[in-house]
Structure 1
Amino acid sequence: MSNAVSALQGRTAPGDVTVTENGLQGMIILRGDLAGRRLRKLCKTLTGVAVPEQGKAAMDGATGICWMSPDELLLLVPYGDAAAAIAKIDEALAGTHYLAENVSDARAFITVQGGYAREVIAKLAPVDLHADVFGPGDFRRTHLGQVAAAFWMAEDESLKVICFRSVAEYVFGLLAASAKAGPVGHL
């Protein structure tokens, strides 16, 4: 059996804004009735945070929940806990209509951090990232360049990005080039 490795094995592009691949992260897609009490209670038990509102991400260290769509959440758990979390979901939601899938090995997790981090993302995504509109906890599922991605503002100068593992190299390169090009001065 092979050892699990992250998409970019912790690669970093240093600079005024640093782009870093975060390594292995447990990620579970959970689809179902997001208003359901059993689902909401289970999510809180697994992550330590409540199900966030539409367009939000709620984090507590390495665990959290991202709102993906009206019937879909992305649960973030430690990588080694993902399989056990799926088992807990299956047990807790038995008899209800849901889908839970461990997508940890199919995704890459990248941090963009520094003084103009929001501008790095703004150059690549069709999202208004002005501080008056997009702040800590805000989440978007969109595109970066030509590929699907999701990101949220973890804190004022730090954004977390998730993309498919198959395009991790492309996304990392886009983010690094955008960071290297410097700020635009409009956010």
Structure 2
Amino acid sequence: MSEAVTALGGASSAGPVAQVEERTIQGMVTLRGTLSELAPAVEAVTGCAMSGTRGIEHAGDAAVGWMSPDELLLLVPYAQTGEIVAALEEKLAGVHHLAVDVSDARASFRLEGPGAREVLARLCPVDLSPAAFGPGDLRRTRLAQVPAAFWIDEAGAFTLVCFRSVARYAFDCLAEAASGEAVGFLA
């Protein structure tokens, strides 16, 4: 069996307003179905409470993000992804659902620094003011021309997930946006 690698080999870029770096491999499971029916299994398997609309909940090394009215993104340790999918299948027997390991189809990045909000605001049609977007919020939107989802932690760093096939484009967009001067509007 081959060893899993990130899409860009750990690429990183430091600009004057923010730094962007590719995150290490991450276990990701797309789970679709009626969210109220999925909730007990999700909590049992991940330890995370269900997130609300456009939210993300964390518990230890797992997280559950709301992606749409019938879709969740589960973040788990990469090495445990297969076990997580199997446990979900067992707990959801008889419940209409779809649980798929999408770990190798996704790339993820970390964006941090005093201008991180501004960098994303340059690329995404989302209100990123602190009053409108804070820890526990998740947005599924477009980053320039590609679909992406992102959230922010308590320290102000963003995690962004996109398709692996557009990882280079997403990274280059983030790095270019971080290379500009600060406007200071979202500070």
Shift of 1:72: 0.5
Asked whether 1:7 is paired with 2:21, we answer no
1:128-172 per-residue CA deviation (whole Å, 9 max, x = no partner) reads: 000111111111101000111111112352111000000000001
CA contact (8 A) 2:14 2:178 kept: no
Q: CA deviation at 1:9?
A: 1.9
The runs of 4+ residues in structure 1 deviating greater than 4 Å are none
Instruction: Please report the TM-score for the alignment, with normalisation by the length of structure 2.
Output: 0.95
CA RMSD of aligned residues (A): 1.2
Partner amino acid, structure 2, of 1:3: E
Q: CA deviation at 1:94?
A: 0.8
1:4-153 correspondence to structure 2 within 5 Å? 4-15=4-15, 16-36=17-37, 39-153=38-152
CA distance in 2, matches of 1:11, 1:41: 38
Structure 1 portions without partners, runs of 5+ = none
Cα 1:107–1:61 shift into 2, 3 Å: same
Rounded to whole Å, the distance in 1 between the matches of 2:146 and 2:125 is 12
- Alpha-carbon distance in 1 for matches of 2:85, 2:34: 17
Identical pairs, percent: 49
Q: Offset at 1:61?
A: 4.5
SS in structure 2 opposite 1:135? Answer: coil
| C-alpha deviation, 1:183, in angstroms | 1.9
Does the 8 Å CA contact 2:12/2:22 hold for their aligned counterparts? yes
Unaligned runs of 5+ in 2: none
Number of residues paired by the alignment? Answer: 185
Could you tell me how far apart the structure 2 residues matched to 1:61 and 1:13 are?
28
> Is the 2:123–2:144 contact (alpha carbons within 8 Å) kept by the matching residues of 1?
yes
- Which sits farther off after the overlay, 54-63 or 115-124? 54-63
Amino acid at match of 2:90: E
